[in-house]
Amino acid sequence: ETPCVASDVGDTKLIISKFGWISKLYERSSLKDNILKAYDLKLNNFQLWNENKIRCRKHVKSLFDIDIISRKFKFIS
């Protein structure tokens, strides 16, 4: 339930989606800015931070829940 800040590599955009902050690859200022945005949200709008945490968890579970992943794996195998 923790919204993430990450660089734009691999499937990061799919995993984090709109529930976190994606930084441009190799741009430290982008990473720094996104870390500060996340910190600011948690510090100054804790209710929205908590709502985002719940949405973040639901999103990740909807894509990567073990039952869903195992069904997809069985389908492919």
| Tokens read off for 34 | 């996104």
Q: How confident is the model at residue 21 (pLDDT cuts 50, 70, 90)?
A: very high
Cα–Cα distance, 4 to 16 (Å, whole number):
7
Burial 6-31 (b: 16+ CB within 10 A, else e): bbeeeebeebbeebbbbbeeeeeebb
* β partners of residue 60: none
Q: State the pTM of this model.
A: 0.79
What confidence tens digit (pLDDT) does each residue in 29-65 have?
Answer: 999 999 999 999 999 999 999 999 999 999 999 988 8
What average pLDDT does range 14-32 have in this prediction?
A: 95
Show the DSSP H helices in 7-65 as ranges.
12-16, 28-44, 46-64
> What is the share, in percent, of the chain residues with pLDDT greater than 70?
96
